Amino acid sequence: MNVTLWIVQIILAAGFIYSGWMKTVRIESSKTTWAWVNDVPKTLVVLIGIAELLGALGIVLPWAMDITPVLTPIAAIALAVVALLGMLFHIQRKEYREIGVNILFVVLSLIVAIGRL
C-alpha cells in the first residue's frame, strides 16, 4: 500500500508542478493553452499556480523527510479542494472536456489523504 501511495503522490506532484509552473512562470504560454486564463485576472491565475506548487511540495516532502508528516494528507485535501473548485469553474463555463483532469486530481488527492491519515 505504501508503494502505491508513493506512486500516486509522485503523479499528483508532477501534475500540480506542471500546472502551477504554467500558471506562474509560463503565464503567457498558458493563455494559448487554456482559454480561461484570458478571462480571469492574472493575479488570480498566479495565486492558483503558487497554491498548486506549494501543494505539490506538501504532498511529497513532509512524508518523505518524516518532518511533520501530518502535512501530507492536509496538502492532499487542499489540492483536492483546488481541483474541485477548478472543476466547478469549468462546469460553470461549460468547458466540460476540461473537467476530466480535475476529477482525476480530486480522486487521486483523496486517495492520498485517506491513505496517509
* Residue 40 · residue 83 · CB < 8 Å: no
* Residue 47 · residue 1 · CB < 8 Å: no
Share of the chain above pLDDT 70, in %: 100
What pTM, to 2 d.p., does this model score?
0.90
Q: State the pLDDT at residue 74.
A: 97
- Contacts for 26 with CB less than 8 Å, ≥ 6 apart: none
Return the closest-CA partner of residue 79 out of 99, 59, 61. 59
What is the dihedral sign for C-alpha 17, 19, 24, 28? Answer: positive
Cα dihedral 59/63/67/69 (nearest 10): 80
pLDDT in tens, 20-47: 999 999 988 888 888 888 889 999 999 9
Determine which helix (DSSP H) or strand (DSSP E) holds 37, and give its type and residue range.
none
pLDDT in tens, 73-102: 999 999 999 999 999 999 999 989 889 999
